[in-house]
Amino acid sequence: MKLAKYNKIENNTIDYKEKVETKKPKSWLKTISAFANSNGGILVFGVRDNDHELIGLNNPIKDSEEISKLINSKIEPLPRYELNSFTKNEKTFIEVKIGDGPKTPYYYISDGRKEAFIRSGNESIPAPKHILENLILKGQNTTFDELPSNINIKEASFTLLNATLIKETDKQLNKDKDLISLELATKDKKLTNAGLLLCDQGLLKQSRIFCTKWKGLIKGSLKEDAYDDKEYTGSIITLLNNAEMFIKNNSKISWYIDGMKRIEKKDYPLEAVREAIVNAIIHRDYQIIGSEIHIDMFDDRLEITSPGGMLDGSLIQNLDITKISSMRRNKVISDIFSRLNFMERRGSGLIRILEAYDDCNIKPTFNSNVSSFKVTFPNKRYTENNSNTKEKIEKNIINDKDLFILNTYKLLKGKIRSKTFDQLEFGFMSSF
């Protein structure tokens, strides 16, 4: 591959090293481990990392031997990799292509210690406990929701799932037969984790959803700064319905007459919001004990935050949303939500969320790290009203004193800013 083409590769799948460190090989072997545990990648030797200056290698033949020797002895199990050398401007470089491995986790081994790494943006970091557990499951070709629990089928009911199946598919749930075929239970009558999530009792404790409607633009004390606060438990179908209803109840709708038509304006496109809640429920990491989905409503936005980042360790904010392939962390509940017509199998949910804001200047944003994923919906009515008010205020600025007051306001934050804005609006607008 020509060096110029490396610039087109995403940062989370390429790394550079100026030379082959043999005394401290962990500096680059952790990248080998991280790529093998993620989607694969390319490690280039002879290029300085910080500014990508072409340095070249003095003894590429010896370096190639050392790279192979250290990978073979220090990475376990042995990943798939390909080693090539090439020249540019009379300088020699080595390219190591690492494949995404089926036998995860791939460990770096030193002094009898094993450590697995993952990619987080353009860095290789030690795999947190919950991600290491996911890598172990991936290496076993299974997912968390497929794992059996120690709870017997007789201890749970599936009334809501059955009613939803009848409504959406005209099919009825046969508890003895279908729970096993849908992988909600094992042949020895033990519920799987998917069964725990979909039963009426919601027996997996870390499946809760916390919903809060905050006053203003920032979080504060629940007693003093929240209009509404709910904690939901139960089947993940119940969680979906309750979360959607909470957002509806705490959203506003205005309307106006255009000719013979009544035109409604909503805070949020509810179908897109429902899509985001579905994604949060089925793609969240249920192995992060003590975690839950949080839905936070502010005057200007709605945030839906779920435990667990991108499955491959990439950062969603660095990716092109239209080119992200669908990856399922929880295969069983994803399949059942598809059967219930709660989601599509082709993984186009994020695109539909963006399309719901085609009529708005401000778009939803997506952010992730190794332990969480957040979708932020701008409040359409707030954005439009605030934009119109801002234009009116700026038109009414007639002297330096007015300009100083407005610039001072822009430096304020949180509730103070919100309260001051109301005062400024009243002052500027009432003076005309």
The type of residue at 27 is S
Question: Strands (DSSP E) along 365-427, which ranges?
Answer: 365-368, 372-378
Fold held by 206-381: Heat Shock Protein 90 (3.30.565)
The domain locations on the chain are 3-127, 144-205, 206-381, 396-430
- In the three-class reduction of DSSP (H, G, I as helix; E, B as strand; rest coil), residue 301 is classed as strand
pTM, two decimals, is 0.83
Residue from 376, 415, 189 nearest 295 by CA: 376
Superfamily, domain 3-127: Schlafen, AAA domain (3.30.950.30)
The pLDDT profile of the chain, 432 residues, written as one tens digit per residue, is: 566 677 767 678 899 999 999 999 999 999 999 999 998 999 999 999 888 899 999 999 999 999 999 999 999 999 999 999 999 999 999 999 999 989 999 999 998 899 999 998 889 999 999 999 999 999 999 999 999 999 999 999 999 999 999 999 999 998 888 999 999 999 999 999 999 999 999 999 899 999 999 999 998 877 788 999 999 999 999 999 999 999 999 999 877 667 777 777 899 999 999 999 999 999 999 999 889 999 999 999 999 999 999 988 889 998 888 888 778 899 999 999 999 999 875 557 899 999 999 989 899 999 999 999 999 999 999 988 776 554 544 555 555 655 566 566 556 655 555 555 555 555 544 444
Please tell me whether residue 116 adopts helix, strand or coil conformation. Answer: strand
Residue located via tokens 């508890």: 175
Q: Which of 43, 42, 41, 49 is nearest to 18 (CA)?
A: 49
In whole angstroms, what separates CA 92 from the centre of its chain?
Answer: 39
